[in-house]
Chains A and B, each alone.
Chain A
Amino acid sequence: MMALIVELVLMPAVAFVVGLAMLLMMRKIAAKIQRRVGPPFFQPLYDVVKFFGKQTQISHGLIHDVGIIVAVGGYIAAETLIPVPGMTGIADRTDVITLIYFLMVPSLGMALAAGQCANPNASIGISRALTAMLAYDIPFVIVIFGMSWMYGTTNLVQMVEYQQAHGWGLFQAPLLAFAGLFALQGMLGKQPFEIYVAPAEIATGPMVEMGGKYLGSLIVMQSFSLYTAGILYTTLFLGGGVTWIDFLVKAFLVVAIPMTIAFQFPRYRAEQMLGSLWKWPVLAGLLGLAVVMWS
């Protein structure tokens, strides 16, 4: 019990740090691709501290605050469900279906917060964000189903154990791994699937009225989401981690791939996003599923 509480405290802390690093990596990758120098090493930290240190914090009401808390908290809860080297207690008590659902909680929280802002840009952004969720979750659940079926369990710890005994999921179900990567692109909300932010058209959508600690929290949330996505994919396909080093290397690699792809793309419209996310990854996922289930 005590160990679990320790996990509950430690995991978000680790996630925060690693997530910020991933955020930095993201911006660096973007800068490198655009032949820029990019931000300094501690830039994400500066941003977060600045936002939390703002004199004026504009709130649009209680739900605005609660929504932000739910958004951040949802990802924090979600990442504790994924086993990391040495900390598998919480993950062992739940399963991957619960995780899928936890991953939907932040969307709802963000939606609440944005909706309360009474800004149409925010509402449009949220409508697009939820559409995006609808888009990437379908290939994602196909992947989840396939991997659960293949490993014969929905327990993530057992999945890791299975892979460490029988080889990585990536090699056993490459099609599903591809579909998962595609879904990851959508889940991270990066180009070409970042229509819901669309700064030039809808003024960063859900974030339009967020300043100060609100935006700061969302940056924290983003770092958590990067971390969660990275280690989830690692856990599902790359055999989790034996030690923190190989685990983090894999996680960073996983996150680096969609980032690298992202900054070469323009933005898709909502329906184009739906089309592409429902076509290729779903196709690959279903094929992969067929291979997994009938072999």
Chain B
Amino acid sequence: MKELPVRTEGAFAKRTNPLAHVFDEFVRFCRSHSLFMLHYCTGCGAIELPPAMTSRFDMERLGIQPMVTPRQADILLVTGYVSVKTLKRIILTYEQMPAPKYVIGICSCTVNGGMYWQSYATAKVLADYLPVDLYIAGCMPRPEAVVSGMRKLMGLIKTGKAESWKDYYRRYDHYLGNQQALFGERWQTPTDVLGEAQQYGLHGPETEGEHTALLQQVQQPLIPHRMRLK
């Protein structure tokens, strides 16, 4: 009952409608069967995706479709090694995706840096910076592995276990700390993560800390333009 996704958690407690459960199940089912992925082709793993999508393996029969903007996507596929510069973009893109959102790391490079272990310019462990739901290891993983990973993710979603996006809000300070360590103190993204955390009721004890304090010092907050008559 806890993870009913369409409402914020605070709202769920008040719900008394018994059908709500059915409804939420239905929504989760739909969600798992309609996965739009943003394949962020950072490295060689990207080459395995076209066969996975086209006639041989046809991911569309699972309801999985490629999408081109983070706004439309549910899954962020990071397909290979992540250089520091790329990571900034990945984080920006991730934060722009609407929740619930899932991150899949493909290839060994996203797991531990892989063959770029010794590279000074490469982020080694993706999960340090983003909450990764699923790794598909391999160098590179075959389309079968990708499809299999996807099915696994679908299962996780259906059962409500793919919740790592909440983790990003709950432990934002941790992720931000790692990001700041890599990108410097003046790092900021346009998305107001703290505000979103408040809004979704995911603002936990670890959401804020020294890193967010630093962020609040340096960042220029982007307050949306509201319509005003005066």
Q: Which residues of A contact B68 (CB under 8 A)?
A: 199-200, 203-204, 208
Q: Note all chain B residues with C-beta closer than 8 A to A207.
A: 69, 72
Answer yes or no: B26 CB below 8 A from chain A CBs: yes
Q: Which residues of A contact B73 (CB under 8 A)?
A: 211
Please give the distance in Å from A212's CB to the nearest CB on chain B.
5
**A window 248-269: CB within 8 A of B:** none
Residues in chain A near residue B46, CB distance under 8 A: none
A47 within 8 A of B: yes
A17-51 near B? 1/0 per residue, CB < 8 Å: 00000000001000100111111101101110110
Tell whether A49 pairs with B27 under 8 Å between CB atoms, given A34-B54, A200-B68. yes
Stretch at the interface among A55-63, A171-179, A187-195, A279-287: A55-63
Closest CB-CB distance, A220 to chain B, in whole Å? 14
Q: Within the complex, what minimum Cβ distance (angstroms) separates A236 from chain B?
A: 33
Contact status of A38 and B69, CB under 8 A, knowing A49-B26, A49-B30: no
* Chain B residue contacts of A210, Cβ below 8 A: 71-72
Contact of B58 with A37 in the complex, beta carbons under 8 Å: yes
Contacts of B33 in A (CB 8 A): 40, 42-43, 46, 50
- Contacting pair A212 B55 (CB below 8 A): no
Chain B proximity mask over A133-162: 1 for CB below 8 Å, otherwise 0: 000000000000000000000000000000
Within 8 A of B (CB), among A193-235: 199-200, 203-204, 207-212, 215
Closest Cβ–Cβ distance, residue A66 to chain B (whole Å): 11
Assess the B30–A53 pair: CB atoms within 8 A: yes
Contact with B along A62-83 (1 / 0, CB 8 A): 1000000000000000000000
Which residue among A31, A211, A215 has the maximum number of chain B CB atoms within 10 Å of its CB? A211
B221 CB–A CB distance under 8 Å: no
Using Cβ atoms and an 8 Å threshold, which residues of chain B touch A37?
58, 60-61
Residues of chain B touching chain A, judged by Cβ–Cβ distance below 8 Å, are: 5-6, 26-27, 29-31, 33-34, 54-55, 58, 60-61, 63, 67-74, 96-100, 196, 200, 224-225, 227
